């Protein structure tokens, strides 16, 4: 059977994370997100011999993972186009035969993989697709809603928009502020237990889906909304635009990975500067919220050591005139970013 749009707590945990034959870390963001934000629910990882990426978790076969208490195998890959290649099918079958359900956030549906639905039925296992939007999404209205909203935006894909939104929502709550993380992608939905997969929504309904995701709320309540794609990405700008207009953010935070020079999955396309992204977001965001402002910049400095990251963050804070921080490293710089967002 296929279970669509699982409610909070409906996903069978703990997970075995499946990495397939992924070669670029950016395409394994689902696995990394679950490892970092739901570590207690991750038993280990399973990957094909050609895989070049690891989460650092223990390598377990599906049978070993089931014996260790895993209840499902999650496809931890978000590849270009969200496809399930034929080279993965034997491993997916192996997981079903080991007694694990399958969970995926791909555009391809598990039940459409030849033989998989029949095997799941025969073995009494579930095929769970989380990248399925709700029915009857309305078109966007542009009506200003009550409550406060923050949206993370990026100079590219897969560089920290989800991590930044989760870190900010957690920081808001730690300060006693009412806040909810609003998931817009498959990994965020697996972490939060609810959300809308924005890149699976028909384009005309993107803004309406974002309005559904962050409805009217108390004046002092914050919805911290996970961004998707980039306004400058030649393939994925459409989802970014619909999410921006429908979210009507009061504040946005720019997410960037220092040192990245080329768009993920788009060879030959360079990243915009942070200033260019701020300018474009303000211009387009004012269409549905004239008071939109930039709260600061979040760096994914995981490729830098602590001293290098500290020097860069300090220099760019002064250069940009905005708080710059790495939400995962935290510290005083991140506290200044949080204060700027709430100001």
Is the per-residue pLDDT at 294 higher than 70?
A: yes
Please report the pLDDT score of residue 7 as a whole number. 42
Percent of the chain topping pLDDT 70: 97
Residues of the chain with CATH 3.40.50.720: 2-129
Is the per-residue pLDDT at 29 higher than 90?
A: no
Fold for the domain defined by 2-129: Rossmann fold (3.40.50)
Per CATH, the number for 148-342 is 3.40.50.300
Is the per-residue pLDDT at 3 higher than 70?
A: no
pLDDT in tens, 177-200: 999 999 999 889 888 878 999 999
Is the per-residue pLDDT at 8 higher than 90?
A: no
Q: What angle do CA 287, 198, 2 make, to 5 degrees?
A: 160
pLDDT in tens, 200-235: 999 999 999 999 999 999 999 999 999 999 999 999
Mean pLDDT of the chain: 94
Is the per-residue pLDDT at 168 higher than 90?
A: yes
Is the per-residue pLDDT at 314 higher than 80?
A: yes
Please report the pLDDT score of residue 5 as a whole number. 42
Q: Which of 74-83, 260-269, 287-296 has the lowest mean pLDDT?
A: 74-83
Please report the pLDDT score of residue 26 as a whole number. 82
Q: Exposure of 341 by Cβ count < 10 A (0-12 exposed, 13-18 middle, 19+ buried)? A: buried
Percent of the chain topping pLDDT 90: 87
Residues of the chain with CATH 3.40.50.300: 148-342
pLDDT in tens, 35-64: 999 999 999 999 999 999 999 999 999 999
Contacts of 30 (CB under 8 A, 6+ apart): 74, 75, 76, 77, 78, 105, 186, 187, 190
DSSP state of 160: S
Is the per-residue pLDDT at 311 higher than 60?
A: yes
Contacts of 176 (CB under 8 A, 6+ apart): none
16 — pLDDT class (breaks 50, 70, 90): very high
What token pair was written down for 337?
A: 């970013």
């Amino acid at each position: 059977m296929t279970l669509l749009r699982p409610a909070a707590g409906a996903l069978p945990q703990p997970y075995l994370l499946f990495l397939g034959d992924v070669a670029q870390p950016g395409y394994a963001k689902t696995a990394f997100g679950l490892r970092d934000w739901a570590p207690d629910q991750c038993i280990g990882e399973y990957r094909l011999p050609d895989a070049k990426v690891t989460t650092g978790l223990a390598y377990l076969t599906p049978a070993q993972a089931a014996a260790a208490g895993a209840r499902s195998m999650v496809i931890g890959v978000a590849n270009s186009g969200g496809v399930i290649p034929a080279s993965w099918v034997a491993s997916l079958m192996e997981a079903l035969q080991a007694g694990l359900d399958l969970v995926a956030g791909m555009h391809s549906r598990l039940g459409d993989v030849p033989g998989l639905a029949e095997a799941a039925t025969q073995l009494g296992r579930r095929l769970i697709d989380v990248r399925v939007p709700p029915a009857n999404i309305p078109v966007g209205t542009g009506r200003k809603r009550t409550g406060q909203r923050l949206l993370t935006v990026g100079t590219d894909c897969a560089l920290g928009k989800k991590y930044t939104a989760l870190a900010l929502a957690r920081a808001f709550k730690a300060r006693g502020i009412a806040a909810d993380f609003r998931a817009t992608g498959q990994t965020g939905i697996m972490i939060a237990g609810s959300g809308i997969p924005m890149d699976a929504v028909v384009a005309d309904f993107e803004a309406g889906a974002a309005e559904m995701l962050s409805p009217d709320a108390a004046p002092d309540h914050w919805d911290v909304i996970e961004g998707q794609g980039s306004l400058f990405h030649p393939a994925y700008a459409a989802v970014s635009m619909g999410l921006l207009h429908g979210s009507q953010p009061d504040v946005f935070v720019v997410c960037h990975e220092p040192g990245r020079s080329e768009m993920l999955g788009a060879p030959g396309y360079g990243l915009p500067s942070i200033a260019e992204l701020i300018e474009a977001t303000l211009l387009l965001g004012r269409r549905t919220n004239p008071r939109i402002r930039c709260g600061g910049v979040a760096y994914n400095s995981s490729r830098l050591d602590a001293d290098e990251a500290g020097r860069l963050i300090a220099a760019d804070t002064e250069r940009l005139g905005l708080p710059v921080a790495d939400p995962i490293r935290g510290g005083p710089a991140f506290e200044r970013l949080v204060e700027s967002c709430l100001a």
